[in-house]
Amino acid sequence: MKAELQKAFNAQINEELFSAYLYVSMVNYFEEQNLKGFASWMQAQAVEELTHAQKLIAYLHERGVAVKLEAIGKPEATWKSPLAAFEAAYKHECYISDCINKLYALATKSGDAAAAIFLSWFITEQVEEEASVDEVVQTLKLAQGAPGALFMLNRELGARSPGITIAPSA
């Protein structure tokens, strides 16, 4: 694997780890708002992001490429509302999609078909990620001014199993 592509893969690992960190911050925000269903949904999201980072790391190891972890930036900690938090999550997922698309383009430009094929899974996954977050955004927009709808959505989002707990419930 060419050096430029190796560096870009390592940068994407950092992006995925930051994504998990951001979603853990949102878990804490929702716990503080007593929206445990929203917190559970974000815990599942954080686990997914860690899984994405692990997939990238395993791929680099398989290719004999050194993994070079960098510092993870500090995420936001508070939002104006649940809607604002999910809008931030949607914006972030769009950003990650752009990062993946650029990484795929670099793999293609570098003539690394194996890397491009590997990254095609991430491209498809990002379509799903954006859609799932946007669905919550659109539902929250419809629910504005209807507290009962917020509590129903909280219960519905709590049904998403996080797999493991990243931040303990209060």
Residue 62 within a domain? yes
* pLDDT digit string, tens, across residues 152-163: 999 999 887 655
Residue 164 lies inside a defined structural domain of this protein: no
Instruction: Write b or e for each residue in 60-81: b if 16 or more Cβ atoms lie within 10 A of its Cβ, otherwise e.
Output: beeeebeeeeeeeeebeeebee
pTM more than 0.75: yes
Q: How confident is the model at residue 170 (pLDDT cuts 50, 70, 90)?
A: very low
**Residue 113, domain member (yes or no):** yes
Angle CA(138)–CA(130)–CA(125) in degrees, nearest 5?
Answer: 150
Which residues, at least 6 apart from 116, have a Cβ–Cβ distance to it below 8 Å? 104, 107, 108
Q: In terms of residue numbers, what domain contains 138? A: 3-157
Among 35, 45, 46, CA closest to 153: 35
Asked if residue 169 belongs to a domain, the reply is no
What is the residue whose two structure tokens read 């219960």?
155
* pLDDT exceeds 60 at position 95: yes
Q: Is 147 part of any domain?
A: yes
User: Who wins on pLDDT, 161 or 88?
Assistant: 88
Q: Flag whether 18 is in a domain.
A: yes
Could you report the per-residue pLDDT of 48-84, keeping only the tens digit for each?
999 999 999 999 999 999 999 999 999 999 999 999 9
Cα end-to-end span (Å), the chain: 46
CATH at 106: 1.20.1260.10
In a domain, 170, yes or no: no
**What per-residue confidence (pLDDT) applies to 162?**
58
Read off the pLDDT of residues 100-129 as tens digits, 9 standing for 90 and up.
Answer: 999 999 999 999 999 999 999 999 999 999
Q: How many domains does the chain have?
A: 1
